[in-house]
């Protein structure tokens, strides 16, 4: 039986025929050995313009039945299951200028976001190069392998910590309002935002790139030298605990984090 790696190699040979394709890389869990039986192949195709839709469909139909081509739910993408192995394939088309801009703004300019600040840096850093027409992606990837900037770490900590509870209309304030209204959708939404900033702070303190949304507790325990007091218990309680206890848990997490960053 043909294996996934053989099919992947054949797919790369097909997609690289487009002149507009600058690089093809494999990202996600497949490159950091955290993949499981539900994990897909995340394939990023960096191109000066998106290859023609019908040509992309022709390629996809070589490997899959009923592929979904040219969706725009997140980035422009094609998704399908390999016919031979049933492996999920998620192909995303990206502009080289766009990803270069993100690396420059975050990694070189040391600008912070509320949550997920270094996720694109992490994506580039950990990607496996499958095709690199002129060496452009390798040069970009090399930039992300420089030491974690002290200024960036501090900017991430300052921006995200303030908005957890200390700032006006903070996540804590919004969570409090949602609890008082019995607005469970909003409670979950604000909890997720709170946790995104919480993890951004922890990774910045440890000068580790933020890997995204999945398996963060396990990742932090395996890779961070320092963690806040009661880290795993508090994250679990905030995530799945009763609504009535979330404010108490969030406040406790902020104070443990305050001690952690000082």
Q: Are residues 187 and 207 in the same domain?
A: yes
In a domain, 107, yes or no: yes
- Could you tell me the CATH number of the domain that includes residue 136? 3.30.460.10
Cα-flanking dihedrals φ and ψ of residue 120, to 5°? -70, -35
Q: Are residues 175 and 64 in the same domain?
A: no
Per-residue pLDDT tens over the stretch 40-62: 799 999 999 999 999 999 999 99
Q: Are residues 185 and 74 in the same domain?
A: no
Domain range enclosing 218: 150-257
The one-digit pLDDT tens for each residue of the chain (262 residues) are 467 889 999 999 999 999 999 999 999 755 545 444 556 799 999 999 999 999 999 999 999 999 999 999 989 999 999 998 999 999 999 999 999 999 999 999 999 999 999 999 999 999 999 999 999 999 999 999 999 999 999 999 999 999 999 999 999 999 999 999 999 999 999 999 999 999 999 999 999 999 998 899 999 999 999 999 999 999 999 998 788 889 999 999 999 999 999 9
Structure tokens at 144: 């992300």
How far is 37 from 84, CA to CA, in rounded Å?
Answer: 15
In a domain, 21, yes or no: yes
User: Pick from 121, 144, 167: which residue ends a domain?
Assistant: 144
Of 136, 149, 145, 154, nearest to 23 by C-alpha is 136
> Going by DSSP bridges, is the β-strand pair 68-71/88-94 parallel, antiparallel, or unpaired?
unpaired
Q: Are residues 118 and 156 in the same domain?
A: no
Q: Are residues 227 and 158 in the same domain?
A: yes
Q: Are residues 136 and 197 in the same domain?
A: no
Q: Are residues 237 and 253 in the same domain?
A: yes
Of 43, 39, 15, nearest to 29 by C-alpha is 39
pTM of the model: 0.91
Q: Are residues 187 and 243 in the same domain?
A: yes
Q: What is the dihedral of CA 117, 247, 229, 155, to 10 degrees?
A: 30
Q: Are residues 126 and 201 in the same domain?
A: no
User: Pick from 102, 121, 144: which residue ends a domain?
Assistant: 144
User: Pick from 144, 173, 190: which residue ends a domain?
Assistant: 144
Tokens 């270069």 belong to: 100
Structure tokens at 215: 């398996």
Q: Are residues 103 and 156 in the same domain?
A: no
> Going by DSSP bridges, is the β-strand pair 77-81/68-71 parallel, antiparallel, or unpaired?
antiparallel
- For every residue of 213-255, which 3-state class applies, written as one string? CCCHHHHHHHHCCCCCCCHHHHHHHHHHCCHHHHHHHHHHHHH
Counted domains in the chain: 2
Per-residue pLDDT tens over the stretch 94-118: 999 999 999 999 999 999 999 999 9
Q: Are residues 156 and 107 in the same domain?
A: no
Q: Are residues 164 and 81 in the same domain?
A: no
Instruction: Confirm if 230 and 174 have CB atoms less than 8 A apart.
Output: no
In a domain, 262, yes or no: no
- Could you tell me the CATH number of the domain that includes residue 180? 1.20.120
In a domain, 171, yes or no: yes
Helix, strand or coil, per DSSP, at residue 78: strand
Structure tokens at 107: 């990694």
């Amino acid at each position: 039986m043909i294996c996934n790696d053989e099919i992947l190699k054949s797919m790369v040979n097909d997609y690289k025929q487009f002149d507009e394709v600058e690089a093809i890389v494999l990202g996600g869990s497949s490159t950091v050995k955290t993949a499981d039986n539900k994990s897909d192949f995340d394939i990023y195709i960096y191109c000066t313009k998106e290859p023609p839709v019908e040509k992309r469909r022709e390629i996809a139909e070589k490997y899959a039945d009923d592929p979904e081509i040219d969706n725009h739910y997140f980035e422009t993408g094609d998704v399908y299951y390999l016919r031979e192995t049933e492996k999920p394939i998620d192909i995303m088309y990206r502009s080289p200028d766009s990803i270069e801009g993100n690396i420059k703004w975050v990694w070189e300019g040391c600008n912070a976001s509320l949550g997920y600040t270094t996720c694109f840096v992490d994506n580039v850093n950990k990607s496996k190069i499958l095709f690199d027409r002129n060496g452009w992606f390798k040069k970009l990837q090399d930039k992300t392998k420089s030491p974690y900037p002290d200024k960036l770490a501090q900017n991430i900590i300052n921006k995200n910590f303030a908005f957890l509870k200390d700032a006006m209309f903070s996540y804590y304030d919004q969570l409090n309002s949602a609890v008082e209204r019995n607005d469970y959708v909003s409670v979950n939404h604000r909890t997720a935002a709170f946790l995104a900033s919480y993890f951004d702070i922890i990774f910045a303190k440890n000068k580790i790139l933020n890997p995204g949304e999945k398996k963060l507790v396990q990742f932090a325990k395996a890779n961070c030298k320092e963690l806040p007091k009661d880290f795993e218990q508090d994250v679990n309680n905030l995530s799945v605990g009763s609504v009535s206890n979330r404010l108490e848990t969030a406040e406790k997490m902020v104070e443990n984090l305050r001690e952690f960053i000082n």
